[in-house]
Structure 1
């Protein structure tokens, strides 16, 4: 596993994250959920192409931070099938102060 920490954040990204994102672009996955494990971003869950947004949102924990990409299919007003990939940061009920204390040791 080859990972390098980002100079700005100090956070490493597991090689598998990029690989799975490239697979998502080829429509192998509907979504990818990422989590922070120590000082590294890792893939937590892959959604199959048949899964829906409801399946995706049900996969997110209520009290922990997650990052995700979701491949959204839609039809335009001209009846043309399109797809857009969205990056989503899920931090709604996440306690940033508690996270900073847990991982950085700072109050």
Structure 2
């Protein structure tokens, strides 16, 4: 009899979160070391890990290019903007990226793990769920931030 299934997180708890994922998010949030962070689920480790970081000078197009066309990811983006009162502001967006062309298994794993992962990242201002690039266009962020 196999007990392998016992160590797997159940659907309500989702995947674990690596310490590196948390510290990388804090570097984005507090130190402005990254413009964005893309996270993926490592099914072997059963946790959310950092896949890619973007330097502060990287553009929103660089961020969008980091999201795979046919697979799910989580991402955070530090959006800088100027208000109508000419004040510089920054808002952190959490993106749950799940293209319709993703495998069903990936969609399920990412959907069931999102809430737990999202709770680990304190200081998120807005959340976007996106299934295609039009749902994460820069205008979407501008509209939400203002």
Q: CA deviation at 1:59?
A: 1.0
Does the alignment pair 1:13 with 2:53?
Answer: no
- In the other structure, the counterpart of 1:29 is 34
Equivalent in 45, 69, 75 of residue 62 of structure 1: 69
- In the other structure, the counterpart of 2:86 is 79
Q: CA deviation at 1:7?
A: 8.9
- Where does structure 1 differ by over 6 angstroms across 4 or more consecutive aligned residues? none
TM-score normalised by length of structure 1: 0.81
Q: CA deviation at 1:30?
A: 0.2
Inter-CA distance 100–28: structure 2 relative to 1 (3 Å threshold): closer
Inter-CA distance 100–55: structure 2 relative to 1 (3 Å threshold): closer
Gaps of 5+ in 1: 102-107
Per-residue deviation, residues 53-82 of structure 1 (Å, max 9, x unmatched)? 100001111000000000000000000100
Q: CA deviation at 1:40?
A: 1.0
Number of equivalences: 98
More helix by share: 2
Whether the 8 Å contact between 2:72 and 2:106 is mirrored in structure 1 is: no
RMSD of aligned Cα (Å):
2.4
Gaps of 5+ in 2: 1-8, 109-146
By relative contact order (CA 8 Å, sep 6+), the higher-ranking structure is: 2
Looking at structure 2, the residues matched to 81 and 64 of structure 1 have their Cα atoms a distance apart, in angstroms, of 34
Q: CA deviation at 1:10?
A: 3.9
